[in-house]
Amino acid sequence: MLACGSAESDAGLDPAANDAVSTIEIFSWWARAGERDALGAVARVHAQTWPDDVILSATAELSGLARKTLQRRLETGEDPETFQANIGNDLLRWVRRNGADDRESKLSPLDEVMPESASTWREVFPPWLLEHASYGDKLYAVPSTVHRINTLFFNQDIFEAHGLPVPRTIADFDTIATRLAGTGIHPIAVGSREPWTLALLAFECVLVAEQPPEVYDQYFSGALAADDPRVLHSLETTRHLLHLANPDHARLSWLQALDLFIHGEAAMMVMGDWTRASIEASEGRVGEQFREIAFPGSEATFVFTSDTFPLPKRVRNSAGAKRLLRTIGSIEGQRAIAAAKASLAAHMELEPPTDPAMREKYELFRRKPGLLALSGKVPSRFAEDIAVALAEMAARDDIEPVVLTLRSRYPLLR
């Protein structure tokens, strides 16, 4: 529980508010070291304006578990005041519950219930970003962060000790593996117990490194052939890269793989830049002991996701939920969350980061729209089935399970 005090009237903002209800529950998978600090940061900023609110944090460590728990709660009327959802389909599936329109939406359109705040957010967040949090020109959530998916971390100490080149191409992975042979150090740390990490590697990193960004965009919009040879080539590349990973990756979560990397048992890790906060929470120094770069070959492409927070329709404390969303969308809230999560903020009026790797991402983010992550671009059924097929690919060392699944599920994208 992140306590800010007890209830304060919000009647001026919401005449129908039930001020007897003081608790504001925020549900998320910000549960690991580094990310938990973001919830505390939100509470501290919130308390400066609303000292009598009580913010209750409910978390699940892994995103898959969190989504299943959230689905049960929303279907049984146990709505939290707000919850974390990746921007795009992961958020909007709660709006298009009937698969056709928003008539059975579980979420309230912010333009209607928070018109002044929604109007302000449309001025300070990039329009192309808010487009992915909207349906039918209605905004359904406020973005809190912006993360780059196509990211590689490497251990600078290991690289210097073994004379390894900073990887600039996918071919460099083989050079690194050759030089590390016999040292007991894995070239790449992978945790695929939740196989979405394999989709991240295959499509959000390898595919965008090997092909122009429009291939990713067109393929996952359903505009190409299911077995497009360029996609199959990236699957073969991914299969090969898994030969360079820790052999027990199917038994490890990505967090357990991160432990291998942090403790020097692996030289590199491919994972979204939210990894940075967890490294720094473990007293690792990104920029010194550890380095962050774009996945080799994808330097000019920004594959992004954003953690967004909506307003469910059946919350007990609607006034408190609106107050919390205002905090998350404020420049002070954005600054606090970005600092705690070592991420980019979505707010365009926030000062640029000073860290070189962060500044490079910031300039790319501000310069042009990025590629939306799979969690936002494809239906959850498609993503889940492909992830399972990728796990089978890894187990069999054969891309055929993924090819067959792509052929059968690709119509879901059209």
Same domain, 260 and 290: yes
Same domain, 78 and 133: yes
Say if 373 falls within a structural domain: no
The CATH number covering residue 328 comes to 3.40.190.10
Q: How confident is the model at residue 37 (pLDDT cuts 50, 70, 90)?
A: confident
Q: What is the pLDDT of residues 255-280, one digit of tens each?
A: 999 999 999 999 999 999 999 998 98
Q: What is the pLDDT of residues 338-375, one digit of tens each?
A: 999 999 999 999 999 999 999 999 999 998 899 999 99
Same domain, 69 and 88: yes
Say if 9 falls within a structural domain: yes
Q: What is the pLDDT of residues 194-222, one digit of tens each?
A: 999 999 999 999 999 999 999 999 999 99
Per the structure, how many domains does the chain have? 2
Question: pLDDT at position 64, please?
Answer: 82
**HEC letters along 128-178:** HHHHCCEECCEECEEECCEEECCEEEEEHHHHHHCCCCCCCCCCHHHHHHH
Say if 370 falls within a structural domain: no
Say if 76 falls within a structural domain: yes
Average pLDDT over residues 391-398: 98
Q: Which of 277, 311, 273, 279 is nearest to 294 (CA)?
A: 273
Q: What is the pLDDT of residues 85-138, one digit of tens each?
A: 999 999 999 999 998 999 999 999 999 999 999 999 999 999 999 999 999 999
Domain enclosing residue 253, as ranges: 151-301+379-413
Task: Show the tokens assigned to 232.
Answer: 């199959």
Say if 374 falls within a structural domain: no
2-3/54-59 β-pairing: antiparallel
